[in-house]
Amino acid sequence: MPKPPFPKPKVPGVLKGMGITLRTAKETVFPNGPIPQPSKGAVTVQYPHDADLPADRARGVISLKEDNCTACMLCARECPDWCIYIEGHKTLAPPRREGGKPRKVNALDRFDIDFSLCMYCGICVEVCPFEALFWSPEYEYSELKIADLLHDKSRLGQWFETVPDFEPLESGSEVKVKKVPR
Ligand code: SF4
Ligand code: SF4
């Protein structure tokens, strides 16, 4: 009967992990040889003394273009955290054509997002059919009081100033038709 092959010694996972940690520590503290240069090898940004600029499309904060919002409530209904609060009322807007009837539209009274609950999933921005919500890369809005993380429509409107311009479309791609109703 053939003998079973001699089993290879197994390196326990914890030793492998320690090896990786030591190698990374060496690359961080001694990036250029035996003289320690932790500031060169370290990848940690010393915030707030230094700040890394986030990518243009980073999900920093949600901004509202109030003129485009019809208070349709779609974003509030789709938000998995229920952290969008909208109130509005019906009002009459001038007719589109001369001699036409005045139109019934929704006027926005309240549009708040509670960023202490938001999980930055982006669903509200995706589902808005009227191009009223946009991501801004701004992220410096921490607060001492958690209640101050509720941003009202005027604050959300201010964030709109920080939304980067859209990149030009690639050649051959289709332009999205805007559905802004007024
Ligand atoms: S990003 Fe997600 S969690 Fe935050 S408000 Fe929008 S839908 Fe809600
Ligand atoms: S932001 Fe968009 S989805 Fe939300 S209520 Fe306004 S129009 Fe509707």
Q: Report the domain count for the chain.
A: 2
pLDDT score at 182:
42
Q: Does 124 lie in the same domain as 85?
A: yes
Q: Is residue 35 one of the residues assigned to a domain?
A: yes
pLDDT score at 171:
82
CATH number, domain with residue 83? 3.30.70.3270
Secondary structure in 3-state letters for 114-148: ECCCCCCCCHHHHHCCCCCEEEECCCCCCCCCHHH
Q: Does 125 lie in the same domain as 81?
A: yes
pLDDT score at 176:
67
**Cβ of 81 below 6 Å from ligand 1:** yes
CB 98 within 8 A of CB 27: no
Q: Does 38 lie in the same domain as 113?
A: no
* Ligand positioned closest to the Cα atom of 153: 2
CA of 108 to the centre of ligand 2 (A): 10
pLDDT score at 2:
64
pLDDT score at 28:
82
* DSSP class per residue in 71-107: ---HHHHH-TT--EEEEEEEEEE--SSTT-PPEEEEE
Q: Domain limits at 108?
A: 61-162
Mean pLDDT by 10 residues, the chain (182 residues): 66 89 88 77 80 89 96 97 97 89 93 98 96 95 97 97 87 70 45
CB 160 within 8 A of CB 65: yes
